[in-house]
Homo-oligomer: A and B are copies of this chain.
Amino acid sequence: MENRTYHHGNLREALVTAGVALARAGGPEAVVLRAAGREAGVSHNAAYRHFASHEDLLAAVAARCMDRLGLLMIRRTAEVAPAEPGPLAWARLEAVGRAYIDFALTEHGWFRTAFCGATPDPGRHPAVRPEPGTDPYLLLAARLDELVDAGALPSERRPGAEYGAWSAVHGLAHLLTDGPLHDLPPDGIRHAVDTVLATVARGL
């Protein structure tokens, strides 16, 4: 794993790590093959032994960013203060939504990269297996299931409930960071977030 003279030892991982750093600072368009190679102390083109193309690397980086998002969601969910089942389930759902938006705001580059739409090249190594249980979609679904289990959401409302919740939070995150709500002042942001979360909670 240490630096051999010629063979790197773990170049694939090093490239992804470098890509994640680039993505953090500059979003998906900053994830540049040659820059990742430089960062890893390797010549450009070395990446092509581990990734089929630029997009293939970007997809691996994006998966990592998605992991980061999921990890924040998990952390914030766990921090919710205990309460009665119903209110607790609602609070945990809200925590997931706020984590999502906080991630978009504070880790803009990672957020944009996670959703840049890069797809891994088929017929490759199983890629870097994402840490299990960090898929944001599944985390959201689990909160909705909790809501049903707690009797706080009628079970006939459960099918497709992800769509509304996810869309609203994702859309707000996008509008606040890349979109026309880009330069909302801090309390404007707070107001928008509160409003959207309340709207979703009522609408589910």
Contact = CB atoms under 8 A, between A and B. Distances in A.
Interface of A: 115-117, 137, 160-161, 163-175, 178-180, 182, 191-192, 195-196, 198-204
A137 to B, nearest CB: 6
Contacts of A164: 168, 195-196, 198-200, 203
Contacts of A178: 115-117
Given A166-B175, A198-B203, A201-B203, 13 more contacts: A115-B179, A116-B178, A117-B179, A137-B180, A161-B199, A163-B172, A163-B192, A163-B196, A164-B195, A168-B168, A168-B200, A170-B174, A199-B203
A179 to B, nearest CB: 6
Q: Could you tell me the dominant secondary structure of chain A's interface residues? A: helix
A5 B179 CA distance: 41
Nearest to A174: B174
State the oligomeric state as a number of copies.
Answer: 2
B180 A175 contact: no
Given A167-B175, A171-B170, A199 B196 contact: no
Contacts of A167: 167-169, 171-172, 175, 196
Q: Which 10 A-B pairs have the closest CB atoms?
A: A171-B171, A203-B203, A164-B199, A167-B171, A167-B172, A170-B171, A160-B195, A199-B203, A202-B203, A168-B168
25 contacts: A115-B180, A137-B180, A160-B195, A161-B199, A163-B192, A164-B168, A164-B195, A164-B196, A164-B198, A164-B199, A164-B203, A165-B199, A166-B175, A167-B167, A167-B169, A168-B171, A168-B200, A169-B171, A170-B174, A171-B173, A198-B203, A199-B203, A202-B202, A202-B203, A203-B204
A183 to B, nearest CB: 10
A117 B192 CA distance: 19
